[in-house]
Structures are given as structure tokens and as C-alpha cells.
Structure 1
Amino acid sequence: MKWNLKVWQLFVLLSTSVFYFFYYFARYNYSITLPYIQEELQLSHAVLGLIATALTAGYALGQFVNGFLIDRYGPRVMMTLGGFLSAFANFFMGIGQSFYHLVAAWFSNGYFQAMGFGSCCKLYVNWFDKENRGKPLGFNEFLQSFSSAIIIPFGALIITVLGWRYVYVIPVLPLLFFSLFFYWKMRNKPIEKGFEVAWAEEEVQESFLEHAKQAYRMALSDWRMLLTYASYGGSQFARFAIYTWVPVYIYDMTGQIVESAWVTAFFAIGGAVGSLAIGFLTDLIHKRYPLIFAGMTLSAICLVVFASMPSAPILILSGLMALCGVGIEAVEVCYFLLPLDILDKDKKATGVGCMNAWGKTFASFQGGLFGLIVDLSGFQIAFLVTALISFISAFIVIPIKK
């Protein structure tokens, strides 16, 4: 039976989002293993944080390079390649015996993971008109946040049964399967299935170098994009500080790996639920910046309260993390709609890549910096610094009114 355009749009949405769901199994599996890596290798908090820094540094480099390659060669090939390579980087992480081995493996994984999200955005641009991109992107954010919520307690369960190394093996296997399925079934554009749509972009006529020059010049010179990059950088600092250090913080206080997993998982759960709502809301009001401002302000307030209540019941800490997830994870929908709104069609993935590169560069500083602050002044001060960065991010985005 021949599918119509609506059915193909649904297929693109579901297959892309589910594939990226399993990308997250191979990325956020690391946080729950950190207390065990720290104990096995006898690392300080500052040095331990460099493993998280390796991930975000590799991701930043990969986004800067791969965004343009997605524009040039298409999301089908790039996302498939990223899935395969990320799985093998995880296997390499699982057999690591030294700190430098782990850093190299996780840096490589960050680079390969960067082939995923820009591909998702490019597919949504190709298959959906501008007025209806918030919903698919919101659904994608919902699934990726839900994936984070699952992988953390799932990783804790694997650790209690098999040990921390298997967290880099078992959850990664579905990623290999979906890489094969995605390459087999996915199509880059509606025209490849015989559909002519009004929002279709023209084929790129420039040479590789000329296309790259124009794409990066536009992505790096538009003042709205530059403000977006700066605000998103603060958002990613806070996001990775939570994913990296909340499990360590709770484990240090309670000695319970399952409790630390669940508190962190509520950050992702809040992001998952909020992403669906924000995807619909931003399409309804046709604005991005008010939701970003509100979300980052909410997360900053919650981080201040979280830092001020170290002995609060686990339920209260989990609730605060859920609200932070709404403020940070969910508003990523709006952040990534901005380059899709602002830039030309054959440069949108480049813009997404540049923004992700900038954001993950900021996030790279949280690993060592947060760990150093913890070693010098404690977790409470480190979380307050993160809250301040979230406040600044909220105000930076205000001038982007259109």
C-alpha cells in the first residue's frame, strides 16, 4: 500500500524520535557510573568531572563540523553513521582500564553523538512546514528526556547486578539495530517519495567550499543567532551540571545509588512532560523567547532552593529536579526552533550545529569547574553558581523578539 504524505510525516516523526531516544541510552548512561569510576580509579571531583567534559567537548567539535555535513550530505547517512560509531565508542568505554582511556572513549562518543540531533532537525525542516515544526520537535524532546529518565535507573539496576562496565554494553544494543533500520527505511525529503511540497528547499548548487563558507558566515554573523548561542551555552552548563553532579551529590549524602538515580531521573521526567506542552505552546503563540526566559528563570530559582536544602527529603529534591527539567530540558524545543526560523533552508542544520557546539563548549567547563568548586567550597556553592548562570541565560535571550 502506498503511503500518503500525512502517513510519511508520522513515520518520519516516530522513527526519527525513537532512533534518537536510543541515542540517549548511549550518552546519558555515564552519569550513574561516575561514583564507581571515582572509587575504582581514586579520582578527585575535579578530575572526575573531566570525563563529562570529554563528552561535551567531543560533542561541541562534532556539532560544529557535522551540522554542515548534514546540510551537505543529508540526515539519513549522517544519523546512521553516528549511531553505529557511538555504539562502538560505548563498548570501548566499557573495557577502559585507565582514566585516559575513559576520556578518549567518551570524547569520541561525544563527537559521534553530534551526528544525531542536527539530523533530526533537518528531517523536520524537510518534512514539515514552518508553522508545524514545534510539535514534532517537542515530541522528539519528550522522548529524549524520557530516555534520560529511563537510562539512569536502568543503569543503576545493571550496576547492582553486573557492575558498572555493562552500562556501556547492554543499553547500547538497540542503537545498533535502529541504525540499520533507519538507513533502510528513512528518506531525506518528501520529493524522494514523489511528494512535492511548498516548503521544499532547492538543491544546493554551490561547490562544497562555497556552500560551507556561506553557511558558516550566516550562522556566525547574525546577531540573533549569537545571542541564542550565548543563552543556550548557559542552559547547557546547567543541564550537564545536573546530569553529572546530582547523582554524585545524592550518593555522597546517602550512599544509595538507586536514590541518586531517581532524583536525577526526575530532572529528565520534568523535561519530558514539559517538552510536549512547550512544543504545542510555541506553535500556538509563534514565539520562542518568552518560553525560554520563563524556563531558565524557573530553573535558576529551583537550583537556589535545591542548594539551600541539602537535608530535605528525597521527594522534595526530586520535585525540584522535575521543575528544573521543565525549565531547562523542555525549553530546548524553543532554542532549536530559533535557527530553523532564522536561517535559510540549506543552512539550518549548520545553525543547529553551531548552537550545539557553543552550548556544549560552555557545558565542557562545568565538569572541571563544578568539581573544583566542590573540592574547594562544597556542593551548595557549586549549585548556586549554576543558578546564577541560568539567570543570566534567561535575560540574554530577551532581545530576540522575532
Structure 2
Amino acid sequence: MEKITDKKQVLSASLLFMFLYLISYVTRINYGAVISEICAAENMQKSLVSLALTMSAVTYGTGQLISGFLGDRLNPKRLIFGGLLLTAATNLIIPVCTSPYQMAAVWAVNGFAQAFMWPPLVKIMATLFTSEDYKKACVIVTWGSSFGTIAVYALSPVCISLFGWRGVFVVSAFFAVLMSVIWMKKCRFENGSTHFVTNKITETNEKFGVKYLVLMGLIMLAIVLQGILRDGVTTWMPSYISETFNLDRRAAILTGVILPVFSIGAIQLTSVIYRKFIKSELMLASVVFFAGFISALLLFSVNGKSAPFSILFSAVLTACMYGVNIVMTCMVPPYFAKYGNISFMSGLLNFCTYIGSAASGAGLALFSEKFGWSATIVLWAVIALAGGLICLAVTKPWNKFKEN
């Protein structure tokens, strides 16, 4: 399949992919955005309602492996279409659920549906774009996650006021169906048979297995830690603000809008630093992790004292994790093109992100209930520090792997 080289076509395709990713985020994080409202309206415990987040993260992560495998073998455009339709169905079913266990079961299916978005999309972008256009497109596409988060946290209070928390899911389902129609009409990718094999796979795999198995294990661990912070802070920051500073729940949800605003800037800044200054993916990830560590320390210093600064430092911490995410899950997979497994590696690395996300769902809820928010912030700082140290430790082996 020929590469797209016309700049207008590249931009048009990148924007289509961004809106796809935006809708996937809207239909996935909407549950976390309204979780405090569900708890209050339905008189359910936070730890029980958050079980759906954990289940969704587990199925999303597991589905990444399946989606990544299939994305290298089947038409990724149609895989994404199927995921959109299934996620629309689950968003319509959630409002009729009457117990947290029913919600957990339905949202687990949604997590699996959502898994059929990112790995096939990476395969499409790597097929359609040149290497340089791919890097730029990744940045544009990841804006979709931030814009989707803004949409959810800005509009959820409005939907809750007009229709209750159930209205958030109905509106989300409508946009998923609309996106599925646009996707099939506008996506130019038609051939799912393109492979990226430039070396003998058996010889390369043997060499990789002997020298770099530990390297990949540590990279995957760092991505797990990033997932804990990225999704954990995003999900629980409104609850933290509401409980710590006694803000109205809907007002606290609205504070979540600031998180993706900072994330957009962090993604763009990380991309510029990567292309112009720090060429090593793992070294750059370590720097951004350490920036997150400092943000967590600053958050702890203003905990319970200043709501605006608490929101600010929470936003910076989350933004740093989005910076780490784009480096680890967007810029690393293309180095595995010679294995013919770009989609699979993208799925595997994203799988690690959502192992962390699963841990942050019910895990942080239980931790905060038992030890309080001050201890939770300290935990966030420790996780960020550990991620930075791991990435720093594997920078040299990773650079050797790239050279080989």
C-alpha cells in the first residue's frame, strides 16, 4: 500500500484518527468522570462502584494483546468499526443496570471493545504515513484523548443536571454510532495485508530473546507505573478535591477539565524535545517521570491548604504521565517493524498501561479509604520516582538495542 505524502491528505487523515480516538476516550472515561455522582445518587460504596473501572482496565489490557495480534493479520479498519459499535451498545446498557456488579460486567465488555481501537490504528498510521509523518500524526492523534477528556468533564455536569448520570452514557453512545459511520466512509485504509518484515524473523527473535528480555520486562514495568498514575490521578482527582475541600460533586467533576488542557501541552512539549533534543526514548521518559515526581511532591506540600494549587499540581502530574505515554506507546513500537509486529507490540505496551490502570481503579479507592489522601499522594510520588529510575537504568541497553 502506497504511503500518503500529500501534506493536506496527511493532516486530514490525522484529524480523522484524532476524532476516532476522541470518541473512544469519551465512551471509556465517562464512567470514571461520573463515578462520584453514581455513588451518591444510587447510594453505593465507592469501592464497589469502582469495580467496573478495574474490570474494564483488565479486559481492555487483555484485549490489547488480541487486538494487536489481529491487527497485523486482519483489516484494522474493520476491527476498529466493530469496536465502535460494541462500545456504543455497552454505553446504552449501563443506564439500565441496577447493581455495581452488573455495571462491572457491562463495563468489562466495553473495555474489550475499546481494545480494538489503538493497536489497529497504529498499524494503519504506520502503513499510510512516512516515518516523520507518523511521529507528527501520533501527537495529533493523542490530542484526541485530551480533547475527549475535556468534553467528558466539561459536559458531564450539564448532562447530570438535565438528565442525571445516565444521560452521560446515552449521549456518549450516540457519538460512538455517528463516528462509526464517518469512519467507514472516510478512512482510506482498505488493505490489511501490509507487512513490515525487513529481516529474517526467526534470527532476529532469537537475538532479541537472549539479549533484551530483561530490558523489555523493565520497560513494561515502567509503563505499568505510568498507567497507575495517568489513569489513577485522572479518575480520582475530582473525588480528592471534593472530599478534601468540601466542594460540590458536580463542581469537582468540572475541575477535571484542567487535566487534559495541561496534557495537550505536555504531549506537544515532549514531542518537540524528542525530535530536537533528547533522541533516546527511555532517557526522555525518565526525565518526564522525574518531572512528575516533583509535581507530586508539590501537590503534597499544598494538600488541604489550597484547592487551586492542588488542582494545578494534579494536572501537571497527569500531564507528565501523558508525556511518558506518548514516548513509550507511540515512539517505541515502530522499532519492532522488522519483526512484522507493530500492531502487536503497540497492543503489548498498551496492555501494560492498563495493568496499571486496573490497579489504580479499585486499588487507589481502597488505599485512599484506608490511609487518606495524604498517604495516597505520597504513593503517587513514590511511583513516579520508581518509574524514572527504571527508565534511566535501561536507557543504555535500549540505545544498544536500537543500534542493533
The question of a shared fold, defined as TM-score above 0.5 by the shorter chain, is answered with yes
For 1:280, the equivalent position in structure 2 comes to 272
Offset, 1:41:
4.1
Residues 1:235 and 2:205 are matched in the alignment: no
For 2:366, the equivalent position in structure 1 comes to 372
For 1:13, the equivalent position in structure 2 comes to 14
**Which stretch has the larger CA shift, 339-348 or 239-248?**
339-348
For 1:330, the equivalent position in structure 2 comes to 323
Offset, 1:203:
8.4
Secondary structure in structure 1 of the residue aligned to 2:189: coil
Percent of aligned positions with the same letter in both sequences? 18
For 1:400, the equivalent position in structure 2 comes to 395
CA distance in 2, matches of 1:16, 1:345: 25
- List per-residue Cα deviations over 1:134-179 (Å, max 9, x = no partner): 2111111122112112211211211122100111111332221121
Secondary structure in structure 2 of the residue aligned to 1:26: helix
Report if the CA contact (8 A) 2:27-2:91 is conserved.
yes
Residue identity opposite 2:100 in structure 1: F
Residue identity opposite 1:368 in structure 2: A
Secondary structure in structure 2 of the residue aligned to 1:30: helix
Q: Extract unaligned runs of 5+ from structure 1.
A: 193-199, 205-209
Offset, 1:222:
4.2
Residues 1:381 and 2:381 are matched in the alignment: no
Offset, 1:99:
1.0
- List per-residue Cα deviations over 1:329-381 (Å, max 9, x = no partner): 13321112112224536201101111111221222122222122222211211
Instruction: Please give the residue correspondences for 1:1-400 in structure 2 after superposition, counting only pairs within 5 Å.
Output: 5-188=6-189, 201=195, 222-253=213-244, 254-285=246-277, 286-336=279-329, 337-344=331-338, 346-398=340-392, 399-400=394-395
Report if the CA contact (8 A) 2:72-2:195 is conserved.
no
Residue identity opposite 1:15 in structure 2: L
CA distance in 1, matches of 2:250, 2:44: 22
For 1:197, the equivalent position in structure 2 comes to none
Residue identity opposite 1:271 in structure 2: S
Cα gap change, 1:7 to 1:346, in 2 (>3 Å): farther
**Which stretch has the larger CA shift, 377-386 or 5-14?**
5-14
Report if the CA contact (8 A) 2:75-2:191 is conserved.
no
Offset, 1:202:
5.2
Cα gap change, 1:15 to 1:68, in 2 (>3 Å): same
Offset, 1:298:
1.6
- List per-residue Cα deviations over 1:177-227 (Å, max 9, x = no partner): 1212212221337999xxxxxxx74589xxxxx99xx89x97x97444322
* TM-score normalised by length of structure 1: 0.87
CA distance in 2, matches of 1:119, 1:238: 25
Residue identity opposite 1:107 in structure 2: A
Number of residue pairs the alignment of both structures matches: 385
Report if the CA contact (8 A) 2:223-2:353 is conserved.
yes
CA distance in 1, matches of 2:220, 2:54: 19
Secondary structure in structure 1 of the residue aligned to 2:146: helix
Secondary structure in structure 1 of the residue aligned to 2:28: coil
CA distance in 2, matches of 1:132, 1:400: 25
CA distance in 2, matches of 1:129, 1:65: 26
Report if the CA contact (8 A) 2:67-2:120 is conserved.
no
For 1:195, the equivalent position in structure 2 comes to none
Cα gap change, 1:42 to 1:297, in 2 (>3 Å): same
Residue identity opposite 2:290 in structure 1: T
- List per-residue Cα deviations over 1:236-267 (Å, max 9, x = no partner): 01112112211112222324134312332222
Cα gap change, 1:364 to 1:191, in 2 (>3 Å): closer
Offset, 1:31:
2.0
Q: Superposition RMSD on alpha carbons, in Å?
A: 2.8
Report if the CA contact (8 A) 2:368-2:375 is conserved.
yes
Secondary structure in structure 1 of the residue aligned to 2:30: coil
Q: Extract unaligned runs of 5+ from structure 2.
A: 400-404
Residue identity opposite 1:329 in structure 2: Y
Report if the CA contact (8 A) 2:51-2:100 is conserved.
no
* TM-score normalised by length of structure 2: 0.87
**Which stretch has the larger CA shift, 339-348 or 136-145?**
339-348
Residue identity opposite 2:243 in structure 1: D
Cα gap change, 1:140 to 1:224, in 2 (>3 Å): farther
CA distance in 1, matches of 2:327, 2:310: 26
Report if the CA contact (8 A) 1:59-1:112 is conserved.
yes
Cα gap change, 1:395 to 1:367, in 2 (>3 Å): same
Residue identity opposite 2:262 in structure 1: G
Report if the CA contact (8 A) 2:197-2:339 is conserved.
no
Report if the CA contact (8 A) 1:136-1:279 is conserved.
no
CA distance in 1, matches of 2:133, 2:151: 28
